[in-house]
């Protein structure tokens, strides 16, 4: 078995305007990085459109229709101060969710060992019925629900190392004992959620906030002490990674100091747990990362680690 890379050209068409950090060039630099000879053995496929019924396991149908209705035929429509839709946005969002679903299909049926979904828009800030923080559909949550509904996964763990807390994912699974959500993130920082005392109704929410200026040592300690043992004890049937790379020291939207080696380290540690607990099954979905060079190098390091499994 191998590692699967999933993307789609439609995800380049979503455009929130010149100068916006969540820009199409994020995928272009990843595409170029994946052209390296190192990645010649990657399996590759395109993200299908997500069916509304699959998205509706997380988001109500009227919310999905509202996003479609808000998508303009030309120009841009503001959703909030930092999130907007352009003519290609709804298609990109369907492909982004669909890529996460397809990754679950391929991993759960053991066609591949693990998968990385290089799509945009990202997802972890999307609430049940509220888009925010550059996000429309919560791709990681949709992937988890798909694994449960279609493949009978009893427990899914979502591990989020984006520098911003995944408020949407936490809220979606707040009272669900079958899904663990664990996050490292800078605090205080947008969106202002993710306190260490936020544990969910069943203690299955794990937050390990970091402070501005923290680097790899603090990140690794937070993972080793607060998160990785809990993931292992949870014994998930699938691990979903919300793979944001904006905790990198070069990122303009935050103040942590991680480097590529830290992303390699956490990927390998999660792979070790997955190998023990769920047959190595990991689905990783792209979240943030806004310095283009750092993003390309970090994704390359992450995917290289996934291929080692």
Q: If you search the block for the tokens 């989020």, which residue do you land on?
A: 160
Q: pLDDT value at position 94?
A: 98
Confidence band for 285, pLDDT divided at 50, 70 and 90: very high
Which residue from 143, 136, 122, 98 is spatially nearest to 282, judged by alpha carbons?
A: 143
Q: pLDDT value at position 71?
A: 96
pTM for this prediction: 0.98
**Range 147-172 average pLDDT:** 98
Q: pLDDT value at position 275?
A: 98
Q: pLDDT value at position 22?
A: 98
Q: What CA–CA distance (Å, rounded) separates 117 from 115?
A: 7
Question: Which residues make Cβ contacts (< 8 Å) with residue 245, sequence separation at least 6?
Answer: 162, 251, 263, 288, 289, 294, 295, 298, 299, 302
56-112, pLDDT tens digit by residue? 999 999 999 999 999 999 999 999 989 999 999 999 999 999 999 999 999 999 999
In terms of C-beta density within 10 A (0-12 exposed, 13-18 middle, 19 or more buried), how is residue 80 classed?
A: exposed
Say if CB 264 and CB 301 are below 8 A apart: yes
Q: Please report, for the chain, the start and end positions of each structural domain, with discontinuous segments joined by +.
A: 3-307
Q: Would you name the residues annotated as active-site residues?
A: 125
Which residue from 111, 108, 113, 131 is spatially nearest to 121, judged by alpha carbons?
A: 131
Quick one: which H or E segment has residue 6?
Answer: strand 3-7
21-70, pLDDT tens digit by residue? 999 999 999 999 999 999 999 999 999 999 999 999 999 999 999 999 99
Instruction: Pick one of 3.40.800.20, 3.30.750.24, 1.10.3720.10, 3.40.640.10 as the CATH number of 3-307.
Output: 3.40.800.20
DSSP string, 277-297: HSTT-EEEEE----SHHHHHH
Q: pLDDT value at position 309?
A: 75
Confidence band for 156, pLDDT divided at 50, 70 and 90: very high
Q: pLDDT value at position 267?
A: 98
pLDDT at 1 over 90: no
207-247, pLDDT tens digit by residue? 999 999 999 999 999 999 999 999 999 999 999 999 999 99
């Amino acid at each position: 078995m191998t590692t699967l890379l999933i993307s789609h050209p439609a995800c380049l068409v979503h455009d929130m305007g010149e100068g916006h950090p969540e820009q199409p060039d994020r995928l272009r630099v990843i595409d170029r990085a994946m052209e390296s000879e190192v990645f010649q053995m990657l399996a590759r496929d395109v993200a299908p459109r997500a069916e509304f019924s699959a998205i509706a396991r997380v988001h109500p149908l009227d919310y999905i229709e509202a996003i479609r209705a808000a998508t303009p035929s030309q120009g841009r429509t503001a959703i909030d101060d930092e999130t907007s839709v352009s003519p290609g946005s709804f298609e990109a969002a369907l492909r982004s969710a669909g890529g996460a679903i397809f990754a679950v299909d391929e991993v759960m049926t053991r066609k591949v060992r693990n998968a990385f979904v290089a799509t945009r828009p990202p997802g972890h800030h999307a609430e049940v019925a509220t888009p925010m923080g550059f996000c429309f559909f919560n791709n990681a949550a949709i992937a988890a629900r798909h694994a449960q509904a279609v493949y009978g996964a009893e427990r899914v763990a979502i591990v989020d190392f984006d520098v911003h807390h995944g408020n949407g994912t936490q809220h979606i699974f707040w009272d669900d004992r079958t899904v663990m959500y664990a996050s490292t993130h800078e605090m205080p920082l947008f969106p202002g959620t993710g306190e260490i005392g936020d544990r969910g109704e069943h203690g299955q929410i794990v937050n390990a906030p970091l402070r501005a200026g923290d680097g790899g040592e603090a990140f690794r300690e937070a993972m080793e002490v607060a998160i990785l043992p809990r993931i292992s004890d949870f014994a998930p049937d699938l691990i979903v990674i919300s793979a944001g790379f904006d905790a990198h020291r070069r990122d303009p939207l935050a103040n942590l100091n991680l480097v590529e080696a830290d992303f390699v380290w956490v990927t390998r540690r999660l792979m070790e747990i997955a190998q023990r607990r769920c047959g190595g099954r990991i689905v990783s979905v792209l979240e943030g990362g806004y310095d283009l060079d750092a993003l390309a190098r970090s994704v390359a390091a992450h995917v290289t680690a996934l291929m080692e499994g």
